[in-house]
Structure 1
């Protein structure tokens, strides 16, 4: 008798949701035979969006997309129906939205005098250009676990290019040279238009409402079971670690063991960039948490012990000072701030992208999305998001580190950089700061072996789907990376005879290379 495959997914982020969808669409697995275990009360992982207009909306982060690069993401969402536009897919809905709201930033960088910086030139010296080319052409084996600062001179980090590239993608000078090189190649098309963000595409709402909710709705329509408030503490493995035989979890305070047959599949989201996140308020700073408070890395650390094929989590989660920053979400009950920002920047909300205060001690940026940014957001309520890459430093206008600031103090610092009157534009504001200790942990310098393959060598039924797996040529800190890892894992374990969409080699295009060279010499 042929027993159908059952699949168990540990973690309810976009990687697991995508894996479930690919199993159903391309692998012939019945939705009713797929179970997702999520420790939190809702799915989506780092693609979150919460709160309400009264207590304040919250976003830990915001993901910028591109139709030129996100091959696997759009392959997936061409199959997922829109929740708001019957007859349209999420992909079609997103394309139509971006046709109406095109990105063209007119105030990408702002200096200490509130002047909009001329960013038509990247500000490179000849040495900068030579070092960039040398890094971009270096073999990853030669780069090893080196940092960006090992390859580029100190002056490079004062260029307009660095201010824009670093804040667009959240790089720090001490991050991995390999990851930086991969970004230079993967987003070479964006190099020539980085100052306008013209290549950036956005979802209709935040990514939770626009991507997670329709995907989860479709999966549940197919019969997929999503079990919330369920923490998986351990996986029992065969002696050679090739096969998962049992899943150990705690659900509603009770320990359970789920037997896993040899033909069943287990997908594990190892590590989390938003693990141990904490929120503050208008009158309180976010508490300082780490992995001991959340236990979010514990299962990967347990599985990897003595099993090098499962990677090395310590390469990523051992130095919070190098992997953390702080974001903030602001809910407004009037249009005063948006009106002033639109006059200052020359951009209608939703067309400008990041505004970075390049001389800010916190290296602060804000972005005004098209409104409403949340499904069901009432008329007259507006929401914007911002972040600081250096939250450990004392502010320019508030005499304390961002990490110790309340929401109100963060807004006063922002108004200082803009020379706006706080009482005039923030009288009805609710700012909720968010501390994220591991938000750029995937950028930490690492050896090639520190990340497991989506399906580790010798594994028969266990796959890893997250930002902490090894996918050649692609770049972490993107929705695409998690979706690609999921698609690779599903196709390999189920022997799906359909090609995973390849990474588009824009960096091999003569036109793209020519445009990049022209930009570098402006």
Structure 2
């Protein structure tokens, strides 16, 4: 029996009123845990405790800045690609703007009111011989050999694939022809050195929808940025319900107790303002730990300076999500191998940037170029960009305090260590102004007055695609580790059979798996496994 199919050794169903839930971290997965405990498991909100080392909730998704100094948008998952588990979560959270409506209904209504009948698309731009050209991404044509190779990959087992990289199964031509210009890479950020097993899961889960992946879904288009439109309403709901948020508390370790072949968490060690504390945990309590963090170690620069060099180090700024997992991993291999994911920054590093514009010239030129109207949330990629830049042009205003004469968009680079096409230096060494200069060159826009009226804030994210790194089945722990009775692990680095970790939905699905087994709530939606539908796009 593999680790991921181990049966749960737990006591009889817990009485909700006798449960104290200790949630470590305030990621989307952690916040989802609290929502489901209140709404589905009926645990009293006052008995749910969330530890967060910062003074606000959000685990790396918190955006900063203002219209004068420039905004810094910390994208928690780029681009957001939400699915059924996330929809179920948002349906439980009340809207902050409409009574008797859920947050999901609020987002859906906004899309009906503001979005065009024409769905936002993914565009690929390339500099031709004489002008900038738009490539058609809806036509996904794959050669016979590549079809066979893709089908062969989908039929392999993960045990067979092991730590193999995608580049070991597909040649460079495959990536140049399809992944570097089409929807799969734009939506999921796969690179040749990433996990073939994770690529397989993504293909099996989404290939039947591949023709529509260039169309952004409803949950991708919110009124404001994801932090203000999703995280803040969830936090407000939990606070209004009476959840015990313990800010500025860092969890350093957890103790366990073994008896009769099973193991339970017995204590949680914390630090607040330099003072150590120990919280006793009963066997009937729950401990939910968000392990790892894709935003850990992120560091921003300015319009005039690049992010600090320290952000390039492989072990820089491991936050408590990593340090706690590292402690657990050294105690027992059933908790996985965090070193596989947190110390390979060269393979997981991305760089994002947020552009704050005074005036409308850039947006006017952009929409004239692409024939799209403002607010569609279009994703734009540049085929010949050495940095592999993609842009997201969101609905305006993107921030709630954004004035009418200020426009904001954001983007990211998959290859920030490469030298630019026009700016002859690696992106990670560039100031925001230099990044904007490179972008304007690709768009063939005049440098002035756009450059002078823009503030670009770059941000290096050393572990942004860490969940896509090569791995074996033992590197990621089970949601409920073997023989644990009151511990659940959640986030992008746990093992959920058949699910793909490319989206925010993965962390929420893990929560639903955990509470289904620990509190008998409804489990997550079934994952599509059939291959017949996945093959059809290749033969049309």
Q: TM-score, normalised by structure 2?
A: 0.90
Q: Do residues 343 (structure 1) and 364 (structure 2) align?
A: no
Spell out, residue by residue over 1:29-55, the C-alpha distance to the aligned partner (whole angstroms, 9 max, x if none): 110011111112221224333322122
Alpha-carbon distance in 2 for matches of 1:480, 1:33:
26
1:452 to 464, 468, 477: 477
Q: Contact 1:331–1:382 (CA<8 Å) still a contact in 2?
A: yes
In the other structure, the counterpart of 2:133 is 115
Alpha-carbon distance in 1 for matches of 2:202, 2:85:
17
Q: Contact 1:65–1:202 (CA<8 Å) still a contact in 2?
A: no
What SS class does the counterpart of residue 159 from structure 1 fall into? helix
Q: CA shift at 1:86, angstroms?
A: 2.5
In the other structure, the counterpart of 1:466 is 491
Q: Do residues 318 (structure 1) and 343 (structure 2) align?
A: yes
Give ranges in structure 1 of 5+ residues lacking alignment.
none
Spell out, residue by residue over 1:250-304, the C-alpha distance to the aligned partner (whole angstroms, 9 max, x if none): 1122211111122111111110001010010001111233544344421111111
Q: Contact 2:490–2:507 (CA<8 Å) still a contact in 1?
A: yes
Q: Bigger CA drift: 70-79 or 234-243?
A: 234-243
Q: CA shift at 1:213, angstroms?
A: 0.8
In the other structure, the counterpart of 1:333 is 358
State the Cα RMSD in Å: 2.1
What SS class does the counterpart of residue 250 from structure 2 fall into? strand
Alpha-carbon distance in 2 for matches of 1:336, 1:413:
17
Alpha-carbon distance in 2 for matches of 1:55, 1:39:
26
Q: Contact 1:356–1:364 (CA<8 Å) still a contact in 2?
A: yes
Q: CA shift at 1:236, angstroms?
A: 1.4
1:168 to 180, 187, 196: 187
What SS class does the counterpart of residue 238 from structure 1 fall into? strand
Alpha-carbon distance in 2 for matches of 1:243, 1:51:
43
In the other structure, the counterpart of 1:45 is 59
Q: Do residues 493 (structure 1) and 506 (structure 2) align?
A: no
Alpha-carbon distance in 1 for matches of 2:92, 2:374:
30
Q: Contact 1:328–1:432 (CA<8 Å) still a contact in 2?
A: yes
Q: TM-score, normalised by structure 1?
A: 0.93
Q: Do residues 22 (structure 1) and 40 (structure 2) align?
A: no
Q: Bigger CA drift: 431-440 or 82-91?
A: 82-91
Q: CA shift at 1:171, angstroms?
A: 0.9
Spell out, residue by residue over 1:220-271, the C-alpha distance to the aligned partner (whole angstroms, 9 max, x if none): 1111011222111111122478211111111122211111122111111110
1:238 to 257, 280, 292: 257
Q: CA shift at 1:107, angstroms?
A: 6.4
Q: CA shift at 1:325, angstroms?
A: 1.0
Q: Do residues 293 (structure 1) and 317 (structure 2) align?
A: yes
Q: Do residues 248 (structure 1) and 248 (structure 2) align?
A: no
Alpha-carbon distance in 1 for matches of 2:30, 2:509:
11
Distance 1:110 1:56, change over 3 A: same
Distance 1:107 1:143, change over 3 A: closer
Aligned pairs for 1:347-386 within 5 A: 347-351=372-376, 353-386=378-411
In the other structure, the counterpart of 1:140 is 158
1:209 to 228, 238, 255: 228
Alpha-carbon distance in 1 for matches of 2:480, 2:121:
44
Q: CA shift at 1:180, angstroms?
A: 0.7
Alpha-carbon distance in 1 for matches of 2:137, 2:528:
28
Spell out, residue by residue over 1:1-35, the C-alpha distance to the aligned partner (whole angstroms, 9 max, x if none): x8721111111111110001111111121100111
1:304 to 315, 329, 332: 329
In the other structure, the counterpart of 2:88 is 75
Q: Contact 1:27–1:491 (CA<8 Å) still a contact in 2?
A: no
Q: Contact 1:44–1:212 (CA<8 Å) still a contact in 2?
A: yes
Alpha-carbon distance in 1 for matches of 2:191, 2:40:
39
Q: Do residues 408 (structure 1) and 439 (structure 2) align?
A: no
What SS class does the counterpart of residue 133 from structure 2 fall into? coil
Alpha-carbon distance in 1 for matches of 2:221, 2:152:
33
Alpha-carbon distance in 2 for matches of 1:295, 1:184:
32
